[in-house]
Structure 1
Amino acid sequence: MPVSEALRRLAETPAFWTGEPFDTEGLPAEVHLSFPVVGGYALVLDIELPSGDRALGLRRPSASEPVQLGWAPPSGPYPAALRWWELERFARLIALSDPLLPHPGLVVALLSPFAPAAADDDPAEIAAVREAAYRSLRREIPFDEQLAALASGPEQAPLPLFTSERWWPAPQVSSPQVLDEAAIASLSTPAQARLQVRAGHRFPHEDLSDLVRHASALLTEMPNHDWYAATRSLAGRIVGSGDLTAVPALLGALTGAGCDHPTVLDALSEPLVPLEACWVVETLAGAEPGTLLRHHV
């Protein structure tokens, strides 16, 4: 899914994530996001502006309109429309089908409030994935700021007395990170389920269950296909050891076998993002999601 200009602006606005009012001039009255998952199913997020209200829906195969899973104001509370493990599987498949939406990234950042922690979830794992998603939000630094930072300092070597940084302070450069540390810490903390919507008779239980079955089957079958089958044992050893130092060897084995999947190769390439590498290695090994991840949270 190409990231639209409206979504880019929202994603780069800290107040959009923290639920505070922000300037919506130039933005449409509604931002419609569709994330195809598998088998004709898609998760649909509609964001109303300027209110920031959000509605999560499930579009079924051959259907033009989604059925609503849950609705929330920007500052919450959010309904427990999805289980965390469901969202995790969906986000993996979305990343595999769309290299522009790596995991953990924008999908988790947008949809994880609708997937609060349940009693049998590991809060540390959820927090780590959510933190990685919010840290993945980046904005470009204007070129003139970068140039100013590079050009700081004296034109020629100063006298020893005047060489300290206080004499030649580097100009302040904007951070590429959208959210500050306090906001990331707050957003990463898994919320507890307070609004239960899955018990309602209008909730699309059968359709969501069908999507979960399709998603789980596709992820289970993936290690048996093409070049992945030849590297499954190596991926399994990485999962078993919990050590990511063998990831470059796995990357080499995949490229040697002819793998050209951008999502898989990017996740295993330097600079390595541990949580991104973890889910790809788990998938290639046919391991239960979280098996490798829990070694790195």
Structure 2
Amino acid sequence: MPLDKDLAARMTKPDFWPLYLFDDEATEAYDEEWGEEDEEELFRTEFSLGQGLGLELEFEPGLTHVNLGVVSPGVAEAETVGWDDMAHFHPHVMPWSELDLLCRAAALHDPALRHPGPMLALLLRFAFLAEDADPDAITPLVDAAFAVVRPAEAGVAGGLRDETRDLFEPRDLRGTGIEWTTRPDGCRAVTQHGRDRLPLYSLREPESDGFPFAAWSALLARASEVVGAVQGDPALRNPEVRAALDSCAEPDGHRHLGPLATALAGAGFDHPVLLRAVSEPVAPAEAAWAVETLAGLPQGELIPAWSGASRLIGGSSRSAPQP
């Protein structure tokens, strides 16, 4: 299901992203422009992964409220997994790895949902950085997503887009006692020991009865299935394709995308999303996750090898690759 047309149109307006990111000046100007008697705007869009599973996002600019729900078969309405506002927020829904996985799967399922693109930019506020988060793998995708949705905004901070830093700094829960546990029903839950710095605000805590654990687990399983299904394509066993993928898996692999695109086409590989990603990527990070998927590499392994150290929250200890 492509992005809701009303939301897609609204996203092109200059005030949309400041409103969505809860910019104080934009919110105040919006309140002054929209009187109490005006009908409040409400935007709703679904990101489908097929088989009746997906995510539903609702945004009410006038209330500075964003709600995220999981859609599942047999359930009439999306079940809330988190929300963000300026009062009683619970936005810590998922670690970065889950958000990236869901965006990859949605893009593979629906070519209109390009990754990085609107889905990542819209849902980033519901992700957080846990101990295993690698800023080097995250920054290139997030920067590219905001470059896609806000191409006129050139504002960067030390080589990093402002939106990337502003969204992740209050969601950097590394070193705050984040712990993942497995509930008796087999679903993963998150808790925190020591809330003295950045507290965890999540419905996904182990004893919670307000989080749809089974539906969320089914959604993640479906995402893994969609991404993993690519490996079943016989074209990927072609010797020329394998050789090209091996070259692309090197630190300078972005230099070998042309031969990979040619080899894939010659072997009869016809997945439009992945062919487009390696032949006409919106950014190197799009081609990188496509190569990871095609080569069966671990999620997030290749992106930092191509991009080097991140400036996100101090980056990491990885050294930038030499030209």
Cα-to-partner distance string for 1:261-294 (whole Å, 9 max, x where unaligned): 3321221124662100000000000110111111
**Contact 1:267–1:277 (8 Å) recurs in 2:** yes
2:215 to 204, 207, 222: 207
In structure 1, C-alpha distance between the alignment counterparts of 2:87 and 2:137, rounded to whole Å: 23
In structure 2, C-alpha distance between the alignment counterparts of 1:197 and 1:178, rounded to whole Å: 34
Aligned to 1:150: none
Tell me whether 1:263 sits opposite 2:238 in the alignment.
no
Tell me whether 1:185 sits opposite 2:193 in the alignment.
no
**Contact 2:3–2:45 (8 Å) recurs in 1:** no
Aligned to 1:92: 104
Distance 1:16 1:178, change over 3 A: farther
Aligned to 1:148: none
Structure 1 letter corresponding to 2:303: L
Structure 1 letter corresponding to 2:127: A
Deviation at 1:27, TM superposition (A): 8.4
Match runs of 1:30-49 below 5 Å? 30-49=42-61
Tell me whether 1:222 sits opposite 2:230 in the alignment.
yes
Deviation at 1:58, TM superposition (A): 0.3
Structure 1 letter corresponding to 2:52: G
Aligned to 1:19: 22
Deviation at 1:76, TM superposition (A): 9.0
Structure 1 letter corresponding to 2:172: Q
Aligned to 1:5: 6
SS in structure 2 opposite 1:68? strand
Gaps of 5+ in 2: 174-199, 309-323
Deviation at 1:71, TM superposition (A): 1.0
Distance 1:27 1:132, change over 3 A: farther
In structure 2, C-alpha distance between the alignment counterparts of 1:73 and 1:249, rounded to whole Å: 47
Distance 1:271 1:31, change over 3 A: closer
Aligned to 1:169: none
Match runs of 1:281-296 below 5 Å? 281-295=291-305, 296=307
Distance 1:260 1:225, change over 3 A: closer
Aligned to 1:79: 91
Worse-matched range after superposition: 241-250 or 223-232: 223-232
Aligned to 2:133: 121
Tell me whether 1:235 sits opposite 2:235 in the alignment.
no
Distance 1:249 1:192, change over 3 A: same
**Contact 2:57–2:66 (8 Å) recurs in 1:** yes
In structure 2, C-alpha distance between the alignment counterparts of 1:76 and 1:17, rounded to whole Å: 17
Structure 2 letter corresponding to 1:209: S
**Contact 1:81–1:114 (8 Å) recurs in 2:** yes
Gaps of 5+ in 1: 139-175
Distance 1:36 1:17, change over 3 A: same
**Contact 2:83–2:90 (8 Å) recurs in 1:** yes
Please identify which structure carries the higher strand content: 2
Aligned to 1:103: 115
Distance 1:131 1:75, change over 3 A: farther
Structure 2 letter corresponding to 1:221: A
Aligned to 1:142: none
In structure 2, C-alpha distance between the alignment counterparts of 1:226 and 1:293, rounded to whole Å: 25
In structure 1, C-alpha distance between the alignment counterparts of 2:90 and 2:172, rounded to whole Å: 10
Matched positions, count = 260
Aligned to 1:50: 62
Distance 1:47 1:245, change over 3 A: same
In structure 2, C-alpha distance between the alignment counterparts of 1:89 and 1:284, rounded to whole Å: 14
In structure 2, C-alpha distance between the alignment counterparts of 1:179 and 1:27, rounded to whole Å: 33
Larger Rg: 1
Report the TM-score, using the length of structure 1 for normalisation: 0.78
In structure 2, C-alpha distance between the alignment counterparts of 1:96 and 1:117, rounded to whole Å: 24
Structure 1 letter corresponding to 2:219: L
Cα-to-partner distance string for 1:117-161 (whole Å, 9 max, x where unaligned): 1111112322322111111115xxxxxxxxxxxxxxxxxxxxxxx
Worse-matched range after superposition: 5-14 or 96-105: 5-14
Report the TM-score, using the length of structure 2 for normalisation: 0.72
**Contact 2:105–2:224 (8 Å) recurs in 1:** no
